[in-house]
Structure formats: structure tokens, C-alpha cells
Amino acid sequence: MDNKEQCRKLANRIYELDEKVYKTSGSGLGKTFTGEKARVLDDLTVLIVSNPQGHLLRSELALIGNMARSIRDKDARHDLLVEYNDILEEIANLPMSFGSVDIVDKDLADMNSSILSKNFSEKDHLVICISRSHGSAGTDIGFALAEALHINYYDESVLNQILDRRDAKEFGSDAMKVSDFKRYHGLSKKDASFFRQSALICELAKEEDMIVMGRAADVVLTGQHIPHISIYITAPFAIRVRHMMELKNLDLKQAINLVRKMDHKHQDYYHSFTGKRWGDAMNYDLCINSACYGIDESVELIGRLINRQAKLVYRNKDTNKN
């Protein structure tokens, strides 16, 4: 079986899982993949084969996984999550899969130390906010950590899809015709997007365990007195540039420009909405140089620190509810 055929079959599994989860959950938010099946499969196959930005596929899968974990019937939930995990494993084993290019620098691997101090009460949910510099593999670490902890994963794409579906449900077929002024109450799109995402993050943090990537979520939750763990993931600039060269097949100049551009974008967003300095260690509970650990070891490190110092344990929701 060639790679394209393998990816086509995988795309079909993802599509069918999405349908099963949607029907079983009875969610009013709709399926993750909509439209004609053949076209959806074509788009999914291209995304899996080319995979220029792994976060696109990862965000779509996260929506399915999040919905599957909400299913009340424990047997149905178990079966669907087994299929979901099998799909993730198959993706991870593809030669072009996201996360296949690690960030670890072997020369730094033996020189690391970190500390975390944050207390939660038993009634609080495990909420982890991850900020990351571009090229540090922070997104890969966040997604892998969510899967290791069996908790939901939210990034900008997932949050926006939830909000878009809520708009569609509220405004119906006229959702696209509603004026921006009415929808955003006179705010600019940028400001309205921040406030809407922030409100959704706070809502979710009060209801479930989760990981949220970026969106200044650490400051947002602090302002609402919602307990959370804030983590900043970075790596030396030269290593991040090298990582992007390998990951996206860029030359040196292209990779340098991309890393600088994306770092500036993160810095501007964080500062404009919080007044704080993005990447300042004083603003986070834990800072990790991912070049010292790599993706898998970073996930294990965060898990150990959560277990030992925050007095929280990895919680498999299915096990607890069975």
C-alpha cells in the first residue's frame, strides 16, 4: 500500500469516527467535518499526506476527542476513544506525521532543572496554560500532554470553531449575514475575538480538565481567580531555526524570518491584551527549554511535576467514571 492510499484509508477512519461521535454524543454543535464526503476525504488526505502544519490536523482531531470524552454512556465512550487513540497512533507512525521532528539537543539534555509550585483544591479542575516560542515544539508538547493526561485540548482553531458553531446555532442560516457591529457589540474584530475566546476559556476551565494553548489564557484565568498551571516552552533561537528548517524544509533565511515573525506576533498579542511581557519567566509557574528534553521527555517532566508538586495525578476520565 503506497502512502497516499494509506492516508486515504486513514482519512476515511477519521471521517467515520467523527460521524459516530456526533451521533452518539447528540451534540448540538454539529460534526467536525461537514460537506460532501468525497470532498472531505480529499481534503483530509491532502492534509495528512502533505502535512505542512501539523496543528491543522491536530486541531480537527482534538475537537473529535473532546466531544468523545463528553459521551455519558461509558461503553460507547470507551469504544470511540479506543478508535480515536488508534488513529492518533497510526498518524504518529506515518513518516510525515506531526511530531516526527524532535527539538531535543543532546548536548543540553543532561543539564536541566525546574520547579513548580501551585496548589489546587479537590474541586478545582486541572487547567494547564501553555505559551510557547515558535519552533520550540511547544504545540506538539501540549497536544501530546493532553493525550497523556486524557484531557481536552484547545488552541485558537478549536476555540474559534466552537464559537462559530455557537453563532450558527444562535443566528441560524443568517449567521454570515449578521453585521460585525451587532455580533461584536461595536468592538473591533481583534478585541471581540479576544473577549469571546477569553469568556469561553473561563467557561471551559470551570467545567473540565483541559490544556489551552496561548491566547494569554494564563492572565485571563488569573483575572477570574481560576486555578491553573502556566507553562512557557522555548528553546535557543538557533535550535528553533534549525527545527523549522527541518520541519518545513526551509532555507536558513526563511526559517529565521519565520521564527522572528511568529515570535513578534505572540509577543504583540500577549502584551496588547495583558500589559505583561510575553516570555518573561516571572509570569509563569514553569519554564522549559525543550531543547534539553525533547517532546516526549518534556511531557513526562510536566506530568511528574504536576503529580508531585501540584498534588494532582494523571486522571483517566474513563477509569474514574467506570
Q: What angle do CA 41, 46, 50 make, to 5 degrees?
A: 155
What is the model's pLDDT at position 254?
A: 96
Query: In this structure, what are the phi and psi dihedrals at residue 289, rounded to the nearest 5 degrees?
Result: -90, 100
Find the angle CA(162)-CA(163)-CA(167) to the nearest 5 degrees: 120
Report how far residue 136's alpha carbon sits from residue 213's, in angstroms, rounded to the nearest whole number: 13
Give, for 296, the enclosing helix (H) or strand (E): helix 290-309
| Start-end of H helices in 51-172 | 54-69, 74-93, 138-149, 156-171
Identity at 262, one-letter amino acid code: M
Is residue 27's pLDDT more than 90?
A: no
CATH topology of domain 102-317: Rossmann fold (3.40.50)
- Which pairing describes strands 210-213 and 127-132: parallel, antiparallel, or unpaired? parallel
- β-partners of residue 232 are 131, 287
What are the residue ranges of CATH 3.40.50.300 in the chain? 102-317
What does the pLDDT look like over 212-265, one tens digit per residue?
A: 999 999 999 998 889 999 999 999 999 999 999 999 999 999 999 999 999 999
Where is average pLDDT lowest: 19-28, 85-94, 182-191? 182-191
3-state secondary structure of 77: helix
Q: State pLDDT tens for residues 48-75.
A: 876 534 567 878 888 888 888 888 888 8
pTM of the model: 0.71
**Across residues 123-148, what is the average pLDDT?**
93
Backbone angles phi, psi at 14, to 5 degrees: -65, -45
Nearest 10 degrees: CA dihedral of 50, 51, 56, 58?
A: 130
Where in the chain does DSSP place strands (E)? Answer: 127-132, 152-154, 210-213, 229-234, 286-289
Which of 152, 167, 159 is closest to 199 using CA atoms? 159
pLDDT value of position 88: 86
Q: Which residues have C-beta within 8 Å of that of residue 234, sequence separation ≥ 6?
A: 132, 133, 136, 138, 240, 279, 287, 288, 289, 290
Segment among 29-33, 64-68, 172-176, 287-291 with least mean pLDDT: 172-176
- pLDDT, greater one: 96 or 226: 226
Of the candidates 270, 307, 303, 285, the one whose C-alpha atom is nearest the C-alpha of residue 231 is 285
Dihedral class, residue 135 (left if φ above 0, else alpha if ψ from -120 to 50, else beta)? left
- Residue in the block written with cell 494553548: 213
pLDDT above 70 coverage of the chain, percent: 77
- Measured between alpha carbons, how far is 260 from 313 in angstroms, rounded to an integer? 37
